[in-house]
């Protein structure tokens, strides 16, 4: 073996080892209590009318494509369609190891700047959408205890776009948790039993979030730095006009190819956030 072929072989091996080291060192940052768990992702259109509803649907596509690139399973549990285009809200189950650990970097308000396809004058519009990330809690987890007598369960027909795909039987589920007032729905094209199971999964995740927020607020009050959590300012901006850029305002990490990010290439933004957090 000549020196040149040996050098190339060693360079390839070193590059492979460096990649493995980066991957392992990054995984050590995903050591939070729920980081290895599956996730529930919810997107809500904000101010901006049809543009924001279209933006919410663009984010739905982005996260589903990201999940697919990771080999995760993404299943839409519930959708509220927009009047003209897009969606008002969507709830998606993302199943795969470290799904919650990665996705917790996405929680917050996402802002889009572009030339509006819904404006006859083709003016520049700013749209907002809120992304929620919740860990999926095991049904037998002792952290969340739900008394069946405190649930109001309604069964109804799934709403759809019409045609042959409209659900003819009442399979959609709405569960109201009476003590908290929380309402969750699941109306995917599946059986009533499955929809009920998924609705309960979402309810458990939301109750866990409330429990965690209350605990965090209590600690913050004791420390003297409590501020009420509201929509607030955006965590990330996606600019498509007059230039292309995605910028995370928490880390100042920027990506010049906005379309690539919207196609699901989120890893660099997620990793920048998680590295800063650690």
Query: What number does CATH give the domain 39-136+235-277?
Result: 3.30.70.1660
The residues spanned by each domain of the chain are: 39-136+235-277, 148-223
3-47 confidence digits (pLDDT tens) = 677 777 787 788 777 666 666 666 777 878 899 999 999 999 987
CA distance 34 to 208: 11
Q: Which CATH number fits domain 148-223: 3.40.630.10, 2.60.40.420, 1.10.357.10, 3.30.160.20?
A: 3.30.160.20
Neighbours of 216 (CB within 10 A): 12
pLDDT, tens only, 172-188: 999 999 999 999 999 87
Q: Which residues pair with 247 in a beta bridge?
A: 237, 254
In this prediction, residue 222 has a pLDDT band, given cuts at 50, 70 and 90, of low
- 2: tokens are 């000549």
- pLDDT over 70 (residue 164): no
What is the distance between the alpha carbons of residues 99 and 97, in angstroms, rounded to a whole number?
6
């Amino acid at each position: 073996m000549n020196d040149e072929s040996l050098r190339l072989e060693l360079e390839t091996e070193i590059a492979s080892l460096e990649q493995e080291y980066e991957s392992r060192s990054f995984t050590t940052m995903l050591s939070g209590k729920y980081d290895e768990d599956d996730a529930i992702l919810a997107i809500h259109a904000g101010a901006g009318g049809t543009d924001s509803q279209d933006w919410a649907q663009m984010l739905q596509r982005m996260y589903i494509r990201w999940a697919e690139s990771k080999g995760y399973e993404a299943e839409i549990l519930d959708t509220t369609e927009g009047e003209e285009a897009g969606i008002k809200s969507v709830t998606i189950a993302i199943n795969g190891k470290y799904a919650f650990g990665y996705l917790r970097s996405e929680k917050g308000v996402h802002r889009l700047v572009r030339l509006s396809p819904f404006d006859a004058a083709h003016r520049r519009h700013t749209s907002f959408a809120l992304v929620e990330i919740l860990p999926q809690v095991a049904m037998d987890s002792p952290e969340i205890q739900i008394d069946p007598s405190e649930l109001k369960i309604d069964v109804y027909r799934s709403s759809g776009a019409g045609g042959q795909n409209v659900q003819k039987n009442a399979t959609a589920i709405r569960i109201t948790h009476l003590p908290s007032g929380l309402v969750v729905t699941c109306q995917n094209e599946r059986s009533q039993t499955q929809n009920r199971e998924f609705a309960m999964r979402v309810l458990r995740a939301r109750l866990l979030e409330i429990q965690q927020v209350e605990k965090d607020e209590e600690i913050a009050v004791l420390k003297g730095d409590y501020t009420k959590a509201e929509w607030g300012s955006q965590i990330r901006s996606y600019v498509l006009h007059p230039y292309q850029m995605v910028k995370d305002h928490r880390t100042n990490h920027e990506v010049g190819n906005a379309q690539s990010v919207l196609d699901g290439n989120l890893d660099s933004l997620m990793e920048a956030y998680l590295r800063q957090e650690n």
